[in-house]
Amino acid sequence: MSAKGGSCGHVQRNEFILLVHQDPHDRARIKKVLIKAGFHRVLALDTARAAVNKLRLSTYNLLITSLYLPDRDAWTVTRIVRSGRFCRESLPILVLFEGNTNQAMRALANEHHVRLVSMNELHGLPQAVEECMAGDPKPSVLVIEDDESSANLARDCLQHLFDVEIAADGALGLSAFQARRQDLVLLDLRLPGLAGEEVLRQIRGIDSRQPVVVITAHASLDTHASLMLDGATDFIPKPLDVTHLRQICESALRQRGCVETMAELQEMDAVVKELSGRVYAADHVLSVGKTGPASRHLKSAIENCPETALTDEEWRSLLQEF
């Protein structure tokens, strides 16, 4: 039986949770929320060093840590865990933060597979704990390969890291991609019916950021160069080497994450430029006594701001400035 939220406080959970927070009042508050939701096995500590020592000696199902600790920050603790030298490297980690997130924080959370929860939203902590311990869904990979032995080898090599789907020809592979948009595509060049080059062209036409790793046996350097120019992310030769295959697939996904992060940063930069222009225009028209246009510029800037709504205190400060 699952326990979610405060309404499930009567359910006794067996998971062991390690909680690390520097503030004793917040530690007690967080622990109370967890216990009310049925998570009674919570060990609360106040430093990163104490947490790492406990992780070395005992097995936990979840680590909850505040963003900043007296001796280290959450990202240092996360790197220690993910190294696998002191405890299970796949240990779910949940980071509690004050205020708002920023792009750097979200990027670090994605890189280290960490979930972020605001201290202002502790009512949602039990559900976040449930979801965090359930684990992130595996990234998906579509293997478009007509050779059964190669397809099965790829599946056996990747299935512990990926949700693997196999398509035996180009048309079936393209249809599977259109239906489910897998995170990664492994594409054999020599396919019956629809050729691999055409499958690559159509996939990239659907999503120009889609990573596609081409499986090739005898393609020339000219073919490699042409396919890279057409959007292939990387190549892997036949016969497939399982270690190399795993490394290339993980690298392709990291590359996709970098591309998506850069796109987000470019979008944010455009928003910031728009906001800056509005605020500058408001300042200019206000300096000549035109309060109406100034108000409209400020209102437009605030409505298009990607962050959370202004608090009462922020509104008071803004009104005092203008």
- Asked whether residue 256 is assigned to any structural domain, the reply reads no
What is the number of structural domains in the chain?
3
Q: Which residue has the higher pLDDT, 184 or 104?
A: 184
Q: What is the pLDDT of residue 165?
A: 95
Domain CATH number, residue 218: 3.40.50.2300
The mean predicted confidence, pLDDT, of the chain is 82
- Asked whether residue 251 is assigned to any structural domain, the reply reads no
pLDDT in tens, 26-74: 999 999 999 999 999 999 999 999 999 999 999 999 999 999 999 999 9
Shared domain check, 175 and 147: yes
pLDDT in tens, 180-195: 899 899 999 889 989 9
pLDDT in tens, 142-168: 999 999 999 999 999 898 888 899 999
Under DSSP, the state recorded for 119 is G
Confidence tier at 4 by pLDDT (50, 70, 90): very low
Is 2 a residue whose pLDDT tops 50?
no
Is 322 a residue whose pLDDT tops 60?
no
Range of the domain at 113: 6-134
The predicted model gives 133-141 an average pLDDT of 81
User: Three-state SS across 35-61?
Assistant: HHCCCCCEEEECCHHHHHHHHHHCCCC
Q: If 0-12 CB within 10 Å is exposed, 13-18 middle and 19+ buried, where does residue 218 land?
A: exposed
Q: What is the pLDDT of residue 1?
A: 35
- Highest mean predicted confidence (pLDDT) among 14-23, 205-214, 260-269, 278-287: 14-23
Reading the block at residue 55, the tokens are 């992780």
Q: What is the pLDDT of residue 225?
A: 75
Is 218 a residue whose pLDDT tops 60?
yes
Distances (CA, A) of 243 to 156, 158, 236: 12, 10, 11
Four-point Cα dihedral 167, 168, 169, 172, nearest 10: -40
Distance CA 322, CA 319 (A): 5
- Asked whether residue 129 is assigned to any structural domain, the reply reads yes
Shared domain check, 115 and 10: yes
- Asked whether residue 260 is assigned to any structural domain, the reply reads no
- Asked whether residue 157 is assigned to any structural domain, the reply reads yes
Is 321 a residue whose pLDDT tops 60?
no
pTM of the complete model beyond 0.75:
no
